[in-house]
Amino acid sequence: MKVFLDSIGCRLNQSEIEKLGKQFREAGHELVSSADTADLVVVNTCVVTAAAAADSRKQIRHAARAGNARIVATGCFATIDPQTVADLPSVEKVFSNAEKDDLVSQVTGNALLDQGQLTARIPLPGNHKRTRAFIKVQDGCDNFCTFCITRIARGKSRSIPREEIFRDVEAALAGGVKEIVLTGVNLGSWGRECEEQDSLGTLIGQVFRMFHPPRLRLSSLEPWDIDGDILHALKLPGFCQHLHLPLQSGSDAVLRVMGRRINQQNYEATIKKIRAVSPDIALTTDIMVGFPGETDEFFEESLAFVRRMNFSGGHIFSYSLRPGTPAESLPNPVTPALIKNRSRRMRELIALSSSRYREDFLGHQFDVLWERSEYLGGQWELSGLTSNNLSVKCRAGEDLYNRISKVSIVRLEGDSLIGKILTLD
């Protein structure tokens, strides 16, 4: 059977779709790069914002229009609103997040391969092809951010057993991956429910000791989960000098109503501790604008705090009401026009601090992992990332896709640094 796998939303969804891809291949099926040529389409949906839910519906309709394929939907939107998803054209079955592990065996009618066997990870074909391997180590969340529907869709926090993580890392490296990205809904809580109270920091150390990945990166980490073990891990060779620490708002009053376990003071103290260990680290964030009750004064306070943090990048989200969340019943909604204006101002601020961060590295040398390559005008146009998340472009006489080069940064062009290759891995 020819299977097309589609994913909307976060890196966790990406890691899950990669795992489903591996299971379909193990069951003898072929992965294809578009819905047009598929017998079966699996869509891993998202519901984090109203826009993500709309995008999930759009992708399913798009797959239905593409041809005769059967469609199976899973993920957070399919979990929160299964009937709406089941009513979309050509949807044969809906699997909630809790049922996802059985999806491949149920759809194919074959039992999954014995977990003792190692199948190398091969990147998915098409748009979801990645040089990096996203490895899910944790699911669910025990925090109570009042705007968040993800914790409702994903349930209580649970850690993936260490042995399963090791198998996934080994399979990824066997497939030639140079960068492992550990992901989870609340990644920093990995190991907390285990008897010996493990921590993410010790897991990182073990992965390095056992498998020696050229690079290891963390996806989003809640700021209150930064502990001594993570700070220690920052010094390990190969550990990417980049942390994504969602702030959501720089106003203490708004953070309180959001139910976030941080305030300006302890967020700033955490950033200082991290920069004391790794002064050049890239720190990126998520900011939500237009949360109910965010007055002009609170927004200006938030803007000033974000300016002071000097983030190297960030995602700005406009608040959208998610049914079933505690924030649904909050008074004082912000008007759409104000949300739009605040979003623009926050984006401009992040763009400015991001370009300042980039400019600081002109003339520096970095290892760059090439993640895209295209043959144009007799040369290969390459783009890739440094350990500290800088986007670098370069021209080369050969295709260096999924290889690491030592590069000198020679100039800035738009949002990208332009590099000159010094040596190859």
Contacts of 47 (CB under 8 A, 6+ apart): 53, 56, 75, 76, 77, 79, 80, 81, 149, 150, 153, 322
Closest to ligand SF4 by CB, 128 or 244: 244
Cβ atoms of 76 and 98 within 8 Å: the answer is no
Q: Segment 181-200, which members bind ligand SF4 (CB under 6 A)? A: 185-186
d(CA 329, CA 265) in angstroms, rounded, equals 28
Q: Segment 142-161, which members bind ligand SF4 (CB under 6 A)? A: 143, 145, 148, 150-151
Q: Segment 218-237, which members bind ligand SF4 (CB under 6 A)? A: 222
Closest to ligand SF4 by CB, 39 or 286: 286
Closest to ligand SF4 by CB, 27 or 262: 262
d(CA 250, CA 311) in angstroms, rounded, equals 12
Segment interacting with ligand SF4, rule: CB under 6 A, options 20-28, 104-112, 137-145, 165-173: 137-145
- Least separation in angstroms between residue 48's CB and ligand SF4 is 9
Question: Between β-strands 2-7 and 30-31, what pairing exists: parallel, antiparallel or unpaired?
Answer: parallel
d(CA 408, CA 362) in angstroms, rounded, equals 8
Q: Is 216 in the site for ligand SF4 (CB under 6 A)?
A: no
Cβ atoms of 159 and 193 within 8 Å: the answer is yes
Q: Segment 55-114, which members bind ligand SF4 (CB under 6 A)? A: none
Cβ atoms of 19 and 81 within 8 Å: the answer is no
- Least separation in angstroms between residue 234's CB and ligand SF4 is 21
Q: Which of 27, 63, 135, 141 binds ligand SF4 (CB under 6 A)?
A: 141
DSSP state of 178: S
Closest to ligand SF4 by CB, 74 or 150: 150
Give the bridge partners for 183, in sequence order: 136
- Least separation in angstroms between residue 262's CB and ligand SF4 is 10
- Least separation in angstroms between residue 138's CB and ligand SF4 is 11
Where does this chain bind ligand SF4 (CB under 6 A)?
A: 141, 143, 145, 148, 150-151, 185-186, 222
